[in-house]
Amino acid sequence: MLTANALKSAYPPSRYPLALLFVTAVIFLVNWVISFVVAVIFLVRALVFFMNCITFLPTAVGYLATAVTSEPRAAGYLVTLCWKMCEDTHKDGM
């Protein structure tokens, strides 16, 4: 069985493993920073997309409300069309 002293004499201390460990740590740190920056960029892009959708939604609802209130017959036609489609669907047995 090998003892600690035997291992120390077989593998003398060297500065290269410490330097290699330092370089590896720096590489992982740079990798983490790059990943973090990319994640933040994608988060900001998703937030901008979501905010654009949120700001577009009231506009779409406003257009729909304007169409319904300014032209009641159009709303009536739309309701009638939906009702007829629903009746036809139930007649077909779906």
Q: What percent of the chain has pLDDT over 90?
A: 0
pLDDT of res. 59: 64
CB of 66 closer than 8 Å to CB of 72:
no
Residue 48 is assigned to a structural domain of this protein = yes
Nearest-angstrom CA–CA distance, 8 and 67: 86
User: Residue range 72-83: average pLDDT?
Assistant: 65
pLDDT of res. 4: 59
Higher pLDDT, 75 or 35: 35
Question: Could you report the per-residue pLDDT of 15-30, keeping only the tens digit for each?
Answer: 667 777 788 888 888 8
Nearest-angstrom CA–CA distance, 91 and 57: 35
Nearest-angstrom CA–CA distance, 52 and 32: 30
Q: In total, how many domains does the chain have?
A: 1
CA 63 to chain centre: 29
Residue 31 is assigned to a structural domain of this protein = yes
pLDDT of res. 82: 64
Domain that holds residue 51: 14-91
pLDDT over 60 (residue 2) = no
Residue linked to tokens 């577009």: 56
Residue 77 is assigned to a structural domain of this protein = yes
User: Residue range 40-68: average pLDDT?
Assistant: 71
